[in-house]
Amino acid sequence: MQIFKKKNALIHCLSLLKEKNKLIGFVPTMGALHKGHQSLVKNSIENNDVTVVSIFVNPTQFNNPDDLKKYPKTLKEDLELLENIGCDFVFIPTVEEIYAQAVVSKSYSFDGIENQMEGKFRKGHFDGVATIVQAFFEIIKPDTSYFGEKDFQQLQVVKKLTEKENIPVKVIGCPIYRENDGLAMSSRNIRLSKEQRSEAPFIYQTLKKVVGFAKTKSVKDMYEFVKNEFATTSLELEYFTIAEENTLAEVSEINFDKKNRAFIAVNIGGIRLIDNISL
């Protein structure tokens, strides 16, 4: 496994492989890798000749400075994990290497997808995500990139980004990887106290109940149900939304001819956890 800190060295190495028509798969991450990340990397390894993983905590997608400061960093373990599963290249640039001039986002419009849910609660978040993903796509020029459905809205934003900016990269969504008790794996889970960790599976348990109700209860009743469920816990419900998968527009009634998903964001003692489920 080769580690790159400088983009020009990576660009040079990849250009030699591209001349030989090698397929390049790319998995962007912010590190503190877990089995969810691992499933994306494995998917890339199985379907490409060369897999590039980036580890970069992108400052422009954090609207909360404290969240950025406390973002877990486990580089040594990350590199071991990547080496063990057969990753080829790891790209670990500094902030200066990526944002030479100024640490700012570009402004994008993604037909409103970016304004729903996470977009409402994390102002500027998707501009930051799109800025870094576009920068990485320009450096790596992968054939295919892999994103988790755990961040479903991000996945849809990245698909829109490639469409709008005419970027010839295939974007593949990978299923959410969960702990045995159902909690969606997340780098932020490391920060949960023992007590918070034991409460967190309630998020997925509630989502599963919603799936059970989808054919019998109205959307309004499901919203009410979720609100009441969380009111009995110390988990603070930030949003619960049922939306159509492609537009991410909130629905007032479920149309089963379309794909719908329930999305949730919860705050546990300053740690934000998100999850979603297909209805």
Residue of the chain from 81, 82, 113, 176 that contacts ligand AMP (CB under 6 A) = 176
With a CB cutoff of 8 Å and minimum separation 6, the contacts of 57 are 30, 31, 68, 71, 73
Residue 136 lies near ligand AMP (rule: CB under 6 A): no
Q: Find all residues with CB under 8 Å of 250, minimum gap 6, and list them.
A: 116, 241, 242, 243
Binding flags for ligand AMP, 10-39, as an x/- string (CB under 6 A): -------------------xx-----xx-x
Nearer to ligand AMP, 37 or 230 (CB): 37
Q: Which of 51, 118, 148, 241 binds ligand AMP (CB under 6 A)?
A: 148
Least separation in angstroms between residue 255's CB and ligand AMP is 26
3-state per-residue secondary structure call for 181-218? CCCECCHHHHHCCHHHHHHCCHHHHHHHHHHHHCCCCC
| Backbone conformation region of residue 266, classed left if phi is above 0, alpha if psi is from -120 to 50, else beta | beta
Of 39, 52, 81, 273, the C-alpha closest to 175 is: 39
State in angstroms the smallest separation of the CB of 75 from ligand AMP. Answer: 13
Using CB under 6 A as the binding rule, whether residue 277 contacts ligand AMP is answered as no
Part of the chain binding ligand AMP (CB under 6 A), chosen from 104-112, 179-187, 192-200, 251-259:
179-187
Provide CB contacts within 8 A for 143, sequence distance 6+: 23, 24, 25, 48, 169, 170
- Which one among 99, 147, 204, 263 touches ligand AMP, defined by CB under 6 A? 147
**Close Cβ partners of 232 (under 8 Å, ≥ 6 residues apart):** none
Minimum distance, C-beta of residue 32 to ligand AMP, in the bound complex (Å): 7
Q: Is 40 in the site for ligand AMP (CB under 6 A)?
A: yes
34 is a catalytic site residue: no
Nearer to ligand AMP, 37 or 122 (CB): 37
Query: Which residue number, 95 or 231, has a Cβ lying nearer to ligand AMP?
Result: 95
Using the rule CB under 6 A, is 125 a contact of ligand AMP? Answer: no
Binding ligand AMP (rule: CB under 6 A), the pick from 45, 130, 185, 274 is 185
Cβ-closest position to ligand AMP: 148
* Torsions phi, psi for 262 (to 5 deg): -100, 135
Q: How many helices (H) and strands (E) does the chain have?
A: 11, 9
End-to-end CA distance of the chain: give it in Å, rounded.
Answer: 40
Among 187, 189, 260, 276, binds ligand AMP (CB under 6 A): 187
150 binds ligand AMP per the rule CB under 6 A:
yes
Q: Order of strands across the sheet with 271-278?
A: 236-244, 260-268, 271-278
Residues that bind ligand AMP (CB under 6 A): 29-30, 36-37, 39-40, 147-148, 150-151, 174, 176-177, 184-187
Q: Catalytic residue numbers?
A: 37
